[in-house]
Every structure is written in structure tokens, then in C-alpha cells.
Chains A and B, each alone.
Chain A
Amino acid sequence: MAVDKKKLVDLYTRTLKVRLFESKVWDLFGQNLIPGTLHLYLGQEAVAAGVTAALKDTDWIQSTHRGHGHVIAKGADMKRAMAELLGKATGSCKGKGGSMHITQFDAGVLGATGVVASGLPIAVGAALSCKMRKTKDVVACFFGDGASNNGTYGESMNMSAIWKLPVIWVVENNFYAMGTPIAWTCPSETIAQRAEGYCIPSKVVDGNNAVEVYEATVEAVKRARAGEGPTLIECRTYRMKGHSRFDPAKYRPKEEAEYWLSRDPVEIIKKIAIEQGALTEKEAEKIKKKLEKEVEAAAKFAIESEYPRPEEALEDVFAEVA
């Protein structure tokens, strides 16, 4: 499948936007401006970019504990996202969620969840809802290699298959569940093999290559919208940082880390876009400058925003009964 030039620029822009956002987050975290912990998306940007570039605005994504990249790539407002990470009242969750629950419903994000593998059943329900309401929208559900060891994986694969639901299961296989290598906890060579028993077609792609992710997602979305059911895409990728804030990831073999870290998702999509004549160095730089400005503005907004009043802790437990 040939990816048109406009889409290549889109893929570059989305990948870079996530990179710049996350780099700024890391920077602010270093300045003690972000409370709690972080699971950075650095290194996996091409997955979120490739998947979301194949979706419509009205399609949904289900995110994870490593969710900043998903949300930003889907088109969330960066100011409200950054403010949420800083625990500010102007955050998308009014400072009640933070990094692990970073969510913007109006951008088509069903939620980011702190419980590994808990997003899969929610994606099943959202897809069932799309099907019952006949909206033709689809749901892309991100989860990690580690999540595929949880019971909800089997339950959700099965339910989505028997009901032919419009779901795209996106496994981000970064080869580690915290510090545990996937080879220790999964007997098969790929996560994709696990979909076979549920009669779900699957594909393994280079998760650091936004074009590969995009192409696989386009196919999966096509099947989903046609009512042919779910597809699983295994995106093989790697964390640039450790699992969470203070993890130097020393458990990863040197050669393995060097190999993956030499394959920068931003550089890969930039090279492809330039080679295909979709972008010049100068244009790429211009896009970067523009995004940097947006990210700076988001950081400034977040830093200057007020914290919530303490008593706001009591609000939003229940919705008002009409």
C-alpha cells in the first residue's frame, strides 16, 4: 500500500509531537514540577502516531498507564494534558487523575487506566456500543505485552471475536513488563500467536516505524468498519527510558538496548517522509519549531495554572440525577 505524501507528513508530525511533549514532561519532572510517578512514552511514539493517523475523530481509543502518547496523538489539547500532569485545576481531569489517568473524552479517549489489562473489557463494551448504535465508529485498544498475560485478555479477545466487534487490539510489545522480560512469561515467540485461538487475524509490525503501524491499522479499521470483527496488531517497540520515573532499566542487555535505541521512531519516519519526497529537511524543521512552540505554551499554561482548592476533592463522585 502506498502511503500518500500528506499522510507521511501527518505521521511525522504526530510522532514528533508525542516526542516533544514527552521530552518536556521529562524536563518538568526533573524540575520537581510533576508529583507522583510517570510512565513515559518515549521510544514508542510511532505506535500511537500510526494507529491514531488511521482513525477518525469520532473513533475511540482506550489507553493504558503509559498513556500520554496515545492521548496526545489522538488530538488531545496539550495545555489541559500538561496541566493534568502537574495536578492543576485546569487539567483535563481537574487534577484528580494525573499521569496514569490522563484522559480527554472529547478527543475520543475512553480513559487511561492504572490497572494493567483493565482497558480491554472497556474497549469491548465501547465497540459493542458502536455496533448497537450503528455509528460505524471503531475502538483502538492499546495494551502492553504484559497485559496479554491477564485474564481479561482472553475474555476480551473471545467476546470481541464472537460478536465481531469493531475493535483493533494494539499490543505494544516493548519486551518488558516492568523489569520482567516477556520471554519469561510468554511461551510463544509473538503475542500475535495468542490471537489465533480466538480466530482473530493478527499482524506483527515494526512498532518504531509509523508507516508500518499505520498501514496495518488501516487494514484493521477497514475490517472493523465492514463488520468483519477485530484484528490484533503487535507493534514491536522499546522504551527509551525505564518503566517508571527512577528506573534506569539496567536489566536490559546492552546490545539489545543499543540496537533499539539506534532505531529512533522520529528519525525513521522523518527519513521515510524525506525519501518519498513528502518533506524537505527545512519543512521538517519548520514543523518541529511550530510544535516546540505549542509544547512550550502548554508547559507555561500548566505551570502558571492554579492548583485545585482542597475541598474540590469532594466533587465529581456522582453525577447529578436529572
Chain B
Amino acid sequence: MPVMTYREALKQGLREEMQRDERVFIMGEDVGKNWGGAFKVTKGLAEEFGDERVRDTPISENTIAGAAVGAAITGMRPVAEIMFGDLITLAMDQICNQAAKMRYMFGGQTSVPLVIRTVFGGGKNIASHHSQSLEAWFMHTPGLKIAVPAFAYDVKGLIKTAIRDPNPVMFFEHKLVYDKKEEVPDEEYLIPFGEARVRREGDDVTVWGTFLMVHKALEVAQELAKEGISVEVIDPRTLVPFDKKTLIDSVKKTGRLVLVTEETKTGATTAEVAAMVQEEAFDWLDAPIMRVNAPDTPVPFSPPLEQFFIPDHKRIAEAIRSIV
């Protein structure tokens, strides 16, 4: 099986769907020939599919998202790219008031099969407007599905599922996982939404996290194994729909839960997951649910400040040790 980066796997998924279905097209700022996407995800696709189907847009985020909505409800399958997750603030009306609500407020007369790709996360020293993790905002908006792939294998299978879904899908990526490599089949496969993946099995404590934090949790788990602590690591892969069963089953087995994301702590996805687990598995918990998040500040620029901001191996390990 070929080993490829997350970036390559994502592009392969996009390419397969564009080959399969001529309604699928990509649009966004600098996605075309001259640049190939700010993170080079779409590099080469314009050459392969033409400028019409890999469409460079003006810097008009709200209209990029809105045009995706208009195209989706009239028979196309748009994949719109917002260059940085932070800039999605400019497209919130079209995403949250239009795409998310159209099917509902029109009583099921239409559906909105679109994908909005964007990228979250810090670690590149590009400060407060290019580093945030805002997935919780969308989890709080009924009508949107949310994919949060952290691995190359998952990103390919999930983008294909996202494009085929008849609903609006927020497809969130992370800057520091684009270069992560993994074995990825060349042939077609789909990963259903709402199925978490247990990335490592363990008995003493469950760690649930997203994006780069799953990678860090796995590394921490390996270290803690030397101390005799057995850590189970769960990657949800999609936040909406949410795979409760895999998480609850794990918590019932380990009795302990640590939630790790790069979001600022207050109102993060981890808060929602913690509330949900205590509602459904309170009697199985042997210790308080611990959250490891970024502090409630904007993302700082200078390397020591940013490193302090982003949860690291040490903080994850400390949270685990504190309840085991």
C-alpha cells in the first residue's frame, strides 16, 4: 500500500470525486493554476480539470460561500475553500444562516449538498488571524455536518463521503497534519460519517481529541506505557454526526476521560463532549473528566508565546497522570 501525505491523500480524494461526478467543482481564493491553494492541496487539479472546475475567486468569502449555496441547490456539487479558518468569520451568514437552515426553513423543499474546506490550528507563528481553531462555532449550528480528519487515510475517505453527502459539510483540516504520512490505498474507499476510530487501545484512561492533538496523544500514550499506564486514544473523525457509542463504550471500560483539543477552553467542543459523557456515563466515571485546551486568549505570535498557548505533550501527560 502506498505511503502518502495527508495533503496528497486529500487531493486524491478530490480528484477521484471530480472524475466520478462532473457536477463537482472547486472554488476559492488561489486554488487554481497560479498557486494551487495556500497549502497546495489543489495543486495540479486546475491543469487536470480546467479553470472552470477549479475556479479562482476574488477575495469575497461571503460570496464564495453563498455562491456555493446557490450552486448546490440548483444541481451542482461545489467544494468551496476558505483559505484560512479564521477568515470563515467573513462567510458566517451564508454558512450558518443560509446553508445550514435552508432545508429546514423551507420545509425540506431543498437540500444543500456543499462542502466548505478550511484549515485550523496554530504552530506556524502566523498569529491571531491565521491560527485559530473554531470548530465549536459550527457544532453549535444545527444543519451542518462537521468532519475533522487528522490522518491521511481518514482524510481521503472522508472528503469523498463529504462530497456525496446531500447536506452542507464543514470539512476542517489542520496546518500541521498536511505533511503527516500514512499508508493510503490507491483504490476507492469511503469512510462513513459518525464513526470514530480507536487509534490505540488501552485500559486505564480514554483520551479523546482532534487534529494534531490525536497525534500528540498517541505519542504521550507510548511514553506513559513505559510507566505502566495504558491509554486508549479516540479520534472522532466527525463532530456532526457524533459517534457517542465508541466514546461511551471506551469510558465504561476505562472509567477515566481526558479531552484534548487546540481550541480555547471556554465553550470548546471538549466542553460539549464532557457534558454529554457525564449525562450518559456518570456512573462509570472514577475521576473527574479533564480538559486540555488552549488558554482563553487570542493565538499569540512569538514562538515561546505560541508554544505556551498550544497544548503540548507535557500538559496532556499531566492531565492523564492526575486522574490515573
Contact = CB atoms under 8 A, between A and B. Distances in A.
Interface of A: 60, 62, 91-97, 101, 103-106, 110-111, 113-115, 118, 120-130, 132-133, 139, 151-152, 155-156, 158-159, 162, 315-322
Contacts of A113: 97-98
A290 to B, nearest CB: 28
Given A94-B108, A96-B105, A156 B71 contact: no
A316 B103 contact: yes
19 contacts: A91-B107, A92-B109, A93-B105, A96-B106, A110-B74, A118-B93, A118-B94, A121-B62, A124-B66, A125-B67, A125-B70, A126-B70, A128-B67, A129-B76, A155-B63, A156-B66, A318-B167, A319-B103, A319-B111
Contact of A128 (B60, B70, B97, B143): B70
Contacts of A95: 107
B143 A129 contact: no
A151 B73 contact: no
B251 interface: no
Contacts of A155: 58, 60, 62-63
Contacts of B72: 125
Given A91-B107, A318-B143, A121 B66 contact: yes
B104 A121 contact: no
Interface size range of chain B in the complex: 35 or more
Contact of B165 (A123, A124, A321): A321
B106 A101 contact: yes
Contacts of B167: 318-319, 321
B60 A132 contact: no
Contact of B67 (A60, A91, A124, A321): A124
Contacts of B94: 118, 121-122
Chain B CB within 10 Å — which of A105, A158, A162 has the most? A105
A126 B74 contact: yes
A315 B262 CA distance: 33
A162 B102 CA distance: 27
B68 interface: yes
Contacts of A321: 165-167, 193
Most buried by A among B60, B73, B106, B108: B106
A168 to B, nearest CB: 14
B142 interface: yes
B98 A316 contact: no
Nearest to A163: B55
B19 to A, nearest CB: 17
Contacts of B109: 92-93, 103-106
Contact of B73 (A96, A114, A120, A126): A126
A124 B25 CA distance: 15
Given A115-B97, A159-B60, A319-B167, A128 B104 contact: no
B57 interface: yes
A294 B136 CA distance: 49
Most B-side CB within 10 Å, residue of A94, A128, A156: A128
A322 B166 contact: yes
Given A105-B110, A110-B74, A133-B75, A316 B66 contact: no
Contacts of A128: 67, 70-71, 76
A81 to B, nearest CB: 12
Interface string B132-145: 00000000001101
* 9 pairs of A and B residues whose beta carbons are closest in the complex: A121-B66, A125-B70, A94-B107, A125-B67, A93-B107, A155-B60, A319-B111, A155-B63, A126-B70
B142 A317 contact: yes
B67 A315 contact: no
Interface in B26-65: 52, 57-58, 60, 62-63, 65
